[in-house]
A and B are shown apart, each in its own frame.
Chain A
Amino acid sequence: MRDVLGIIVCNMHDDLVPQLTANRTLGSIPFGGRYRMIDFALSNMTNSGIYDVGLVPSKNYQSLMNHVGNGQEWDMSRKNGGLSILPPYAGARGVYRGRMEALYGIREYIKASDAKTVVLSDSDVVANIDLRPVIRQHEESGADITLVYKRSEVFREKKCAALFFNECGKLLDLYLNPELEGTQNIYLDIAIIKKPLLDELIAECASKNEHSFVNSVLMQKKGVLNIRGYLFDGYCNKLTGLRNYLDASLALLQPEVRKSLFPAERPIYTRVRDQVSAKYGENAKVSESLVTDGCHVDGEIEKTVLFRGATVEKDAKVKGCVLMHNTFVGEGCDLQWVITDKNVVIPAGTHLAGSEKYPLYIPKDTVL
Chain B
Amino acid sequence: MRKKMLAMLLAGGQGSRLYALTKDLAKPAVPFGGKYRIIDFPLSNCVNSGIDTVGILTQYEPFELSQYIGNGQPWDLDRMGGGAFVLPPYQRNTGRDWYKGTANAIYQNLRFIERYDPEYVVILSGDHIYKMDYAAMLEKHIEKGAAVTVAALKVPLSEASRFGVIIANEEGYITEFEEKPANPRSDLASMGIYIFSADKLSKYLTEDEADPESENDFGKNVLPNMLEAGEKMAVYAFEGYWKDVGTVDSLWEAHMDLIDGSDLDLYDNSWKIYSRSPVMPPHMVEAGAEIKGSMVTEGCTVGGKVERSVLFAGVTVEKGAEVKESIVMPGATVKAGARLYKTIVGENAVIGEKAIVGTDEGKVTLIGPEAVVVDEATVEAGAIVGKEEAK
Contact = CB atoms under 8 A, between A and B. Distances in A.
B153 to A, nearest CB: 24
Contact of B282 (A255, A274, A286, A290): A290
Interface string A16-34: 0000000000000000111
A32 B281 contact: yes
Interface stretch (B284-292, B345-353, B360-368, B372-380): B284-292
Given A33-B281, A276-B266, A281 B293 contact: yes
A286 B280 CA distance: 20
Between A261, A277, A306, the greatest number of chain B beta carbons within 10 A of the residue's beta carbon is seen for: A277
A275 B293 CA distance: 18
Given A33-B282, A269-B279, A292-B282, A279 B287 contact: no
Centre residue among B274, B286, B298 by max chain A CB count within 10 A:
B298
B283 A280 contact: no
A74 to B, nearest CB: 10
B279 A290 contact: no
A293 B296 CA distance: 8
B37 to A, nearest CB: 14
Contacts of B295: 276-280
A280 B297 CA distance: 11
A217 to B, nearest CB: 36
A281 B292 contact: yes
Contacts of A33: 281-282
A253 interface: yes
Q: Interface SS of chain B: helix, strand, loop or mixed?
A: loop
Q: Which of B33, B282, B288, B291 has the most CB of A within 10 A?
A: B282
**Does more than half of chain A's interface fall in helix, strand or loop, or is it mixed?**
loop
B4 interface: no
A258 B33 contact: no
Contacts of B273: 274
Contacts of B286: 287-288
A250 to B, nearest CB: 12
A22 to B, nearest CB: 25
Given A274-B272, A280-B306, 16 more contacts: A32-B282, A262-B280, A268-B279, A274-B273, A274-B274, A276-B33, A278-B283, A278-B296, A278-B297, A279-B295, A284-B291, A286-B285, A287-B287, A290-B283, A290-B284, A292-B298
Q: What are the 9 tightest A-B residue pairs by CB atom distance, in nearest-first order?
A: A277-B34, A33-B282, A292-B282, A267-B279, A277-B297, A277-B295, A276-B266, A286-B285, A262-B281
